[in-house]
Structure 1
Amino acid sequence: MSETDIATEIHELEFYVQRNVRYHMRRGAFFLRWGRFTAFVGVIFGSATVTSLIAGSSPILVGGSALLVTLASSIDLVVGTGQRAWLHNDLRKRYLDIEAELLSTGQETSHQGLRELKSRIRRIEADEPPTLPALELLARDDVIRSMYSKEDADKYVSKLSWFKRTTAQWFDWDTSNA
């Protein structure tokens, strides 16, 4: 393998690793925020339910508050936001370890070294849950903007609609036209 081929592979690997770091950073932050939101709903509306019962408020207010707490807690329990936040944080750290190794060896990385790094990446990918394509594109765009000038980056970033960008954490969007 020539030095140019190795340099190209290193660049592609760095890009791939950076994209995955940013993807898992976004997913981990999303699940952390969702868990905090459901905890907030539980505290606020759980307190409202107890206060309403004590004060003798409207049964509709008491029932609505209790229903909201139950729904938010149920969704949090079923989705497992805490576990998912930890999983994505762990995956991000594993990719950061590979990135650190790539940065420390730089252009001195051999063909064998690249094969070993790719093998480690495949082991990480085996632990990953299914990815969300629109969110992957957003992470890819983040990397493009961080690595290239604004003029060059504008040529390569995706053209996702604002709605798909906003709901990328929730839905498995078709991104073939982006």
Structure 2
Amino acid sequence: MNLQDMSDDQFRLLFDVRRSIRYHDRRRAFFERLHQITGGLTVLLSGSVLFDIARPGDSPAWLLALATVAAVLAAWDIVVGYAAKAGLHRDLKARFVALEIRLLASDDSPASWSAHQGERLAIERDEPPIYRALDVLCHNELLRAEGFGQNGGADYSFRVSRIQRLTRHLLHWADIKPA
């Protein structure tokens, strides 16, 4: 399939699939980082408690606080399931990549594009709620990658505030407007 021969609807579908790939890659990396940080802090804090156990006498209050923090971090990682969430986003990205491959390899018949639309909706059905600021940042990044940023891409991009950018993985931000 030649990109220049695509209709607007076909290009929008391809663009949305590529944006979703970027989005799920960012979410996967975020959860993997949280899992690594939580695991590392748990090991470090637990290690200091183990050293204190070998020492005679009572443990100082700050060391008991460290042990509590380590336990809370480990429990939080297990309850929230950072590794499982990273795996979910890894799988969703793989499904979108497979869809992109099929999109580019298929003919441009209406039946095949309808099937691809249905497949995209089936993947989106399995997605957790979208973090809009992150989605918009991926949209803007893809515009630049596709060459729309150099000549008039601002018409299609969105403005993301600093606070939205900082909380892109934490808050859903429903009110992001085009630039």
TM-score over 0.5 for the pair: yes
1:39 aligns with 2:39: yes
Structure 2: segments with no counterpart, 5+ residues: none
Shift of 1:25: 0.6
Aligned-residue RMSD, C-alpha: 2.0
> After superposition, where does 1:129-168 map in structure 2 within 5 Å?
129-151=128-150, 152-168=152-168
Aligned positions, number: 173
Shift of 1:159: 1.3
Tell me the alpha carbon deviations over residues 79-136 of structure 1, each in whole angstroms, 9 at most, x when there is no partner. 111111000100000000010112223xx32100000001111111111111111111
Q: Which amino acid aligns with 1:76?
A: D
> After superposition, where does 1:53-64 map in structure 2 within 5 Å?
53-56=53-56, 58-64=59-65
Q: More deviation in 5-14 or 90-99?
A: 5-14
Distance 1:121 1:156 in 2: 22
Structure 1 runs (4+) deviating above 6 angstroms are none
Q: 1:171 maps to what in 2?
A: 171
Structure 1: segments with no counterpart, 5+ residues: none
% same residue: 28
Which structure's residues are more often helix, by fraction?
Answer: 1
C-alpha spacing 1:86/1:124, structure 2 compared with 1 (3 Å): same
Q: 2:83 maps to what in 1?
A: 82
Q: Which has the higher contact order (CA 8 A, sep 6+)?
A: 1
Q: Which amino acid aligns with 1:60?
A: A
Distance 2:53 2:136 in 1: 49
Shift of 1:5: 9.6
Tell me the alpha carbon deviations over residues 19-67 of structure 1, each in whole angstroms, 9 at most, x when there is no partner. 1111111111111111111100111111011112323585223212111
